[in-house]
Each structure stands twice: as structure tokens, then as C-alpha cells.
């Protein structure tokens, strides 16, 4: 198993990344106040735009494939919706009224891209939508019973339900139905009552780990999340909220996404993605590490400055130039679907503290238990 493409985009960490609709451009946050948009030029990627509106570190990016709008959020407690001006060849920001008093931590467009969710340290989720009469983006808050920072959000395929993972060790599913912009929703296995901010479900992994990431499956019937106690959990709403949790022997995972209805890819502090299978009986099973080789590369003499740079980028406590036996050389911070839907992903990408963007190609989806093969 090996990665399809590996790109060294930046010397510093990548906090998060998002692709445009046709996957010709990618937006990243290089762990500062800016957003860099790259476009492939030959075998390399070059920066074609730098978005500089945020006053503090950018913590979340999402790119709507249908509308070609970017949403970003940051530690400055702000979110912006960016639209591209074809005539002037520049991105124009519009401030969103989040009404929060703590840092925004994550953001994501809904499937129909008529609203987006923003998590924050203010112990709430802001559901933002465009108000035609006032000609601005406004927000409604989902608060109770959230008791700590919201670290991740994800949308159900029906465009109504939103899941969030929190630092209070819980994963929750809420209704984000905004009657001003959408019709009355139909019932789902998660429940029938869908008034705005109604708590549809609440789960714990049984330990004390922050919930770093949440992900709905392609059908929306399954919810997966990963915790800082090295746990991976899945709930199946179609089978009476059947709950499975595995405490792994690995370092904590911080990102997860479904690649089929029964197959889940997770990644985090161990610097490689891993595959888990969730079968029809509710059993959650570790399948394999992805792209781990036995080869290690040693280097020659380094200058003092090079040693410090290498130690920071590779998460090393010594100046020895030794690569890890994985494509990523430091913590993986995000996973994004590149091609296909969550019921049949053909490509996904990962970014990390090592400044790398890695594109993984799925060759076979015949059987999750037999293992997925990555080109």
C-alpha cells in the first residue's frame, strides 16, 4: 500500500484543507491567520490566492462544490463567506454574524449549501444562513446540553441534522431545521421531532476522551466519532442506536470519515491512516494500517538551523535526520473526501503538521473485511 500523490505544500503545519468542486484547487490554512489557495502547475502546486481577512489563526475551511463559495472560521471569533469575482480575479469576503464570545473551531457547509455550521469554544453550534431581506449571513444557536468546546461538526445527507463532537466527551445529533429557508423535513431513524436545536441523540465513548471528529455515513444512518482516549465509536440509528466502541492501542485519532457504508478511515497522532470495518451485526474491527513501510532514511550532517527546523517538522526531540516509516512525518490533522461519496469513496486526502498533502486512491472496495487496497 502506498500513497498516490505526496505534496510538500508548506514548511509549517497544515491545520485543515478543502477542495473546490472540480478538484483543480485546494485551500489550506498554514497554521496562521491566512488561507492559501493552491492550483496544480505541472508536477507542483503553486499559491494563486492568499485570503487575509482573519485577525487570528484560521481553524476551519470548507469549500462548497456547487456554489464555489468558501467558508472560513478562526480564533478571532469570526467566520467569512468568500465568493470569487471572475472579472477582478479575486476573492471577496462577507462577515458572518456568529454572535460568539470564544474562538470558532470548525465549520462545514450543509449538503445543499444553503447554510453552514460553525462550532466554537462558546459551547454552542452556530447554524448560519443567508437572510435575503437584510442581505447578510445570520446565525441561530444550538446550545443545550453542550457543556464544553465544540471540536467538530458534520451534516446528515438530509441537510437537516447536524452532529457535533465536544470536549465534554460527548457526540450529539441535533436538528438544524431552519424554517425560514427550507421545507418541513421528513422523519429519519434518528427521530421525528425536528424543531430547531432539538437534541435527537447523545452518546459517550464510555471514557474521558475529547471527541475530536464526527462523521455521518453515506446513508446517514451511522455516526462515527474518534476520541482523545484512543477510542473509535459507531452508532447505527437504523438498528435501535446500536453502539460499538473500540479502545485502540494506538495514539489518539483526530480525524475520521466513511469510505463505504461499512468502512471507516481514521487518522491522527500516529501519522498514518487506519481502516476499520463496522459490520451489519454492529461489530467494529480494526483492519489495517494504511501505507506503512519498513524503510527508514538517514541523512548526513545538518546545520544548526536545519536541525531545529527538522525537529519541529518531524516532531523529533533530536537533530537526527530519520524519517518515520509512513508517508506523513507528523500528526495528521484532517481527512477530506476527494472523489466519490461516503458510500463509495474513490479518493481521499490527508494533511498534517508536516506540511504535506497526501492523495490516496482506493483501488478496490470488494470487501472491507478482506481489506481495502490503496494505490
Q: How far apart are CA 55 and CA 75, in angstroms?
A: 8
Fold classification of 5-374 is Methylamine Dehydrogenase; Chain H (2.130.10)
pLDDT at res. 10: 84
CA distances from 174 to 58, 73, 118, 120, 310 (A): 25, 21, 13, 16, 43
> What pLDDT does residue 311 have?
55
- More reliable by pLDDT, 134 or 320: 134
- Mean pLDDT across the chain, nearest whole number? 89
> Residue 66 and residue 21: Cα distance in Å, rounded?
7
Nearest CA to 71 out of 40, 101, 34, 109 is that of: 109
Bin 241: left if φ > 0, else alpha if -120 < ψ < 50, else beta.
left
- Condensed to tens digits (0 to 9), the pLDDT of residues 229-250 reads 999 999 999 999 999 999 999 9
Q: What is the pLDDT of residue 213?
A: 98
pLDDT tens per residue across span 257-296: 999 999 999 999 999 999 999 998 999 999 999 875 444 3
Q: What is the pLDDT of residues 163-205, one digit of tens each?
A: 999 999 999 999 999 999 999 999 999 999 999 999 999 999 8
The whole model's pTM is what? 0.89
Three-state SS string over 238-285 comes to HHCCEEEEEECCCCCEEEEEECECCEEEEEECCCCCEEEEECCCCCEE
Q: Which residues of 340-350 are buried (b: 16+ CB within 10 A; e: fewer)?
A: bebbebebbbb
pLDDT at 309 (0 to 100): 52
Q: Give the pLDDT of residue 295.
A: 42
- Rg of the chain over all Cα atoms, to the nearest angstrom: 20
Q: pLDDT tier at 365 (50, 70, 90 boundaries)?
A: very low
Whole-number percent of the chain with pLDDT over 70: 87
What is the rounded distance in angstroms from the CA atom of residue 16 to the CA atom of residue 62? 9
Q: Which of 111, 124, 108 is nearest to 73 (CA)?
A: 108
pLDDT of 335 above 70 = yes
Tens of pLDDT, residues 17-26? 999 999 999 9
Average pLDDT over residues 344-351: 94
In which band, very low, low, confident or very high, does the pLDDT at 317 lie, cut at 50, 70 and 90? low
CA dihedral 161, 165, 168, 171 (to 10 degrees): 60
Collect all residues with Cβ–Cβ distance below 8 Å to 205 and sequence separation of at least 6: 169, 171, 211, 225, 227, 229, 231, 233, 245
Does the pLDDT of residue 253 top 80, yes or no? yes
Residue 313's nearest CA partner among 62, 11, 35 is 11
| Model pLDDT, residue 296 | 38
Amino acid 234: pLDDT:
97
Evaluate if residue 90 carries a pLDDT over 60: yes
Return all residues near 367 (Cβ < 8 A) that are at least 6 apart. Answer: none
CB-CB contact of 172 with 146 (8 Å): yes
Task: Give the separation between CA 157 and CA 15, rounded to whole angstroms.
Answer: 25
For residue 298, the 8-state DSSP code is B
Measured distance CA(57)–CA(45) in Å, rounded: 23
- pLDDT, residue 316, reads 53
Residue with cell 494533511: 351
Residue 55's pLDDT band (cuts 50, 70, 90) = very high
Distances (CA, A) of 23 to 18, 64, 347: 9, 12, 11
Residue 368's pLDDT band (cuts 50, 70, 90): very low
pLDDT above 70 for 325: yes
Measured CA to CA, the distance from residue 253 to residue 294 in angstroms comes to 22
Contacts of 344 (CB under 8 A, 6+ apart): 218, 260, 365
Q: With bands split at pLDDT 50, 70 and 90, how would you rate the model's confidence at 322? A: low
Is it the case that residue 32 has pLDDT exceeding 60?
yes
Alpha helix (H) ranges present in 133-181?
A: none
Domain ranges of the chain: 5-374
Per-state percent for the chain, helix, strand, coil, to nearest 5: 5, 50, 45
Using DSSP's 3-state secondary structure scheme, residue 195 falls into coil
Q: Which residues of 91-121 are buried (b: 16+ CB within 10 A; e: fewer)?
A: bebbebebebeebbbbbbbbeebbbbbbbbb
Residue 299, pLDDT above cutoff 70: no
pLDDT at 301: 38
Amino acid at each position: 500500500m502506498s500513497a498516490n500523490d505526496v505534496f510538500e505544500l508548506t514548511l509549517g503545519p497544515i491545520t485543515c484543507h478543502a477542495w473546490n468542486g472540480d478538484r483543480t484547487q485546494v485551500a489550506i490554512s498554514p497554521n496562521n491567520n491566512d488561507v492559501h489557495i493552491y492550483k496544480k502547475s505541472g508536477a507542483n502546486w503553486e499559491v494563486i490566492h492568499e485570503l487575509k481577512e482573519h485577525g487570528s489563526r484560521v481553524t476551519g475551511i470548507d469549500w462548497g462544490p456547487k456554489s464555489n463559495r468558501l467558508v472560513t472560521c478562526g480564533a478571532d471569533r469570526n467566520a467569512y463567506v468568500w465568493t470569487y469575482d471572475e472579472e477582478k480575479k479575486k476573492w471577496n469576503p462577507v462577515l458572518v454574524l456568529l454572535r460568539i464570545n470564544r474562538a470558532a473551531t470548525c465549520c462545514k457547509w450543509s449538503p445543499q449549501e444553503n447554510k453552514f455550521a460553525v462550532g466554537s469554544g462558546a459551547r454552542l453550534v452556530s447554524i448560519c444562513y443567508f437572510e435575503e431581506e437584510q442581505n447578510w449571513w445570520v446565525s441561530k444557536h444550538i446550545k443545550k446540553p453542550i457543556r464544553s468546546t465544540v471540536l467538530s461538526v458534520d451534516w446528515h445527507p438530509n441537510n437537516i441534522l447536524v452532529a457535533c463532537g465536544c470536549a465534554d466527551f460527548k457526540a450529539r445529533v441535533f436538528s438544524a431545521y431552519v424554517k425560514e429557508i427550507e421545507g418541513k423535513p421528513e422523519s429519519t431513524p434518528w427521530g421525528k421531532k425536528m424543531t430547531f436545536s432539538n437534541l435527537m441523540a447523545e452518546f459517550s465513548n464510555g471514557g474521558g476522551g475529547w471527541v475530536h471528529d464526527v462523521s455521518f455515513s453515506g446513508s446517514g444512518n451511522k455516526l462515527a466519532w474518534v476520541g482523545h482516549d484512543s477510542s473509535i465509536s459507531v452508532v447505527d440509528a437504523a438498528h435501535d442506536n446500536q453502539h460499538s466502541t473500540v479502545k485502540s492501542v494506538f495514539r489518539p485519532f483526530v480525524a475520521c470519515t466513511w469510505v463505504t457504508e461499512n468502512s471507516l478511515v481514521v487518522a491522527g497522532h500516529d501519522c498514518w491512516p487506519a481502516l476499520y470495518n463496522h459490520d451489519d451485526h454492529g461489530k467494529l474491527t480494526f483492519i489495517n494500517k494504511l501505507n506503512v513501510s519498513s524503510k527508514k532514511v538517514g541523512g548526513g550532517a545538518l546545520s544548526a538551523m536545519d536541525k531545529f527546523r527538522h525537529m519541529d517538522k518531524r516532531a523529533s526531540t533530536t537533530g537526527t535526520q530519520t524519517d518515520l516509516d509512513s508517508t506523513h512525518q507528523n500528526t495528521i490533522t484532517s481527512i477530506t473526501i476527494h472523489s466519490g461519496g461516503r458510500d463509495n469513496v474513490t479518493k481521499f486526502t490527508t494533511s498534517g503538521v508536516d506540511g504535506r498533502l497526501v492523495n490516496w486512491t482506493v483501488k478496490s472496495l470488494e470487501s472491507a473485511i478482506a481489506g481495502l487496497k490503496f494505490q
